[in-house]
Amino acid sequence: MAPVRVLLIEDNPGDVRLTRLALEEAAGAPGEPAGTLFDIAVAGRLSDGLGHLAEHDVDAVLLDLTLPDSGGLDTFLRLRAAAPDVPVVVMTGMADDAVAAQAVSQGAQDYLVKGEAEAPLLVRSLRYAVARKHAELARAASIREHAAREQAEAQARENERLLREAQAALRTREEFLSVAAHELKTPVTSLRGNAQLLLRRFERAPAVDPERIRTALSTIEQQSGKLARLVAQLLDVSRLEGGMLSVAPEPTDLLALVEEAAAVARNTTARHTIRVEALPAGTPVTALVDPLRIEQVVLNLLDNAIKYSPDGGEILVQVGPADAGKARFAVRDHGVGIPARHRAGIFQRYYQAHLEDGVAAASTSTMVGLGLGLYISNHIVAQHLGQIDVQHPEEGGTCFVVTLPGLAVAESARAR
């Protein structure tokens, strides 16, 4: 059996001799493990003891609290700071019991009173000190290991979450690029086809059919307008994400603005009726808004209503004053509506919907448009200090309500 390495820090030669004798006597005492030996090193000053600990492995320390270069509880505290993992048994005189008890409360394994510690008690104290310290270290290591394992598991879960988000973002990006390519290709193909048709007809000038040319030019105009809107949406998203999308408010007749937007939307569909009305009738509605940006919002909402309304369906736009001096307009369709499970995401970037069994559902496969209209519209309305809400009437369809500060309200809010 390897000897127990003990460092005795004691400046009194008599106490050193007695301690050596006690440990040598105990080595062969009844009840002690056969072959128990103590390898004793002695230091007469605390500084010497700290130097020994820095250079040698020690199983336990017997420490006198009264030394030439240190005294009292500070002696133990300095030793513990230098060697926190080494068990310490304090050796004290009768008058130092209180200090020794303090040392135990601060981490010493035990204390013995000089002159009263017989050999068996001294050995037992050392053995138990070593065992307790080993148990403490094992427990601390177990706690650290458990904490490290929990932290590693938490980090693994976080990494999995980040990976899922990254993969989802990558899928969304790839799907968006695929849809964007398709949406941009469609009007380009139409433009090219009609341009080729016109070219062939002009090459055969005598056979020119004015009506067919008018139809081709009308198609070119519609598709080029669609292409321009798609590009504008992509540019707006870039400006939004760069914090560069701005508005230039001015006093605006909201009813006239909505009428103009509705006229533009009517040119994109022959299958729907778009009706605009003022509530109450004849009421002027003036708001401090950027007319181009708010017209963009109206067109986006009308475009959505057209996409998800049945052939022959009516789309109603109502314009009027709102509470607290505000202005509002609402775009109401009688289409397929938005299922509850998808309503939370409609203002998110790249949100898409398609027709599935007669209802609108979020999708990344059968997409219509780039999924940017509502996202951009929501930001534009927010920059006007307004709000855009969506209602789901029981009889079906969807109603988007946009509330904007009226002229006086907007000026007051911006002045603050």
Indicate the range of 30-39, 112-121, 246-255, 326-335 predicted with least confidence: 30-39
pLDDT at 370: 59
pLDDT at 366: 38
State the Cα–Cα distance between residues 110 and 100, nearest whole angstrom: 8
Which is it for strands 273-278 and 314-321: parallel, antiparallel or unpaired? Answer: parallel
pLDDT at 353: 46
pLDDT at 95: 62
pLDDT at 377: 92
pLDDT band, very low/low/confident/very high, at 361 (cuts 50, 70, 90): very low
pLDDT at 398: 94
**pLDDT score of 49 more than 50:** yes
CATH 3.40.50.2300 placement within the chain: 4-117
Share the mean pLDDT of the chain. 81
**pLDDT score of 314 more than 80:** yes
Q: What is the CATH number of domain 250-415?
A: 3.30.565.10
pLDDT at 364: 36
pLDDT band, very low/low/confident/very high, at 358 (cuts 50, 70, 90): very low
CATH 1.10.287.130 placement within the chain: 165-241
**pLDDT score of 195 more than 60:** yes
Burial of 298 (0-12, 13-18, 19+ CB in 10 A): buried
| 192-222 as b/e: b if 16+ CB within 10 A | eebeebbeeeeeeeeeeeeeeeeebeebbee
What average pLDDT score do residues 362-391 get?
76
pLDDT band, very low/low/confident/very high, at 30 (cuts 50, 70, 90): low
**pLDDT score of 69 more than 70:** yes
pLDDT band, very low/low/confident/very high, at 7 (cuts 50, 70, 90): very high
pLDDT band, very low/low/confident/very high, at 9 (cuts 50, 70, 90): very high
Tokens of 20: 């050596």
DSSP codes, 295-362: HHHHHHHHHHHHHTS-TT-EEEEEEEE-GGG-EEEEEEE-SS---GGGGGGTTSTT--EEEETTEEEE
pLDDT at 384: 92
- Of 247 and 360, the one with more pLDDT: 247
State the Cα–Cα distance between residues 202 and 206, nearest whole angstrom: 8
**pLDDT score of 260 more than 70:** yes
State the Cα–Cα distance between residues 18 and 373, nearest whole angstrom: 93
CATH 3.30.565.10 placement within the chain: 250-415
Tokens of 327: 């202005």
What average pLDDT score do residues 84-105 get?
82
Q: What is the CATH number of domain 165-241?
A: 1.10.287.130
pLDDT at 93: 74
- Is the Cβ–Cβ distance between 57 and 130 less than 8 Å? no
pLDDT at 359: 43
Distances (CA, A) of 141 to 57, 70, 144, 147: 19, 32, 5, 10
pTM score of the predicted model: 0.50
- Of 30 and 172, the one with more pLDDT: 172
pLDDT at 213: 74
**pLDDT score of 34 more than 60:** no
pLDDT at 171: 75
pLDDT band, very low/low/confident/very high, at 31 (cuts 50, 70, 90): low
User: Residue type at 171?
Assistant: R
DSSP state of 59: S
State the Cα–Cα distance between residues 186 and 248, nearest whole angstrom: 33
pLDDT at 209: 72
pLDDT at 28: 56
**pLDDT score of 320 more than 70:** yes
**pLDDT score of 261 more than 80:** yes
- Is the Cβ–Cβ distance between 71 and 46 less than 8 Å? no
Query: What is the length of the chain?
Result: 416
Distances (CA, A) of 196 to 2, 58, 224: 99, 95, 15
Tokens of 88: 């310490």
Q: What is the CATH number of domain 4-117?
A: 3.40.50.2300
**pLDDT score of 183 more than 70:** no
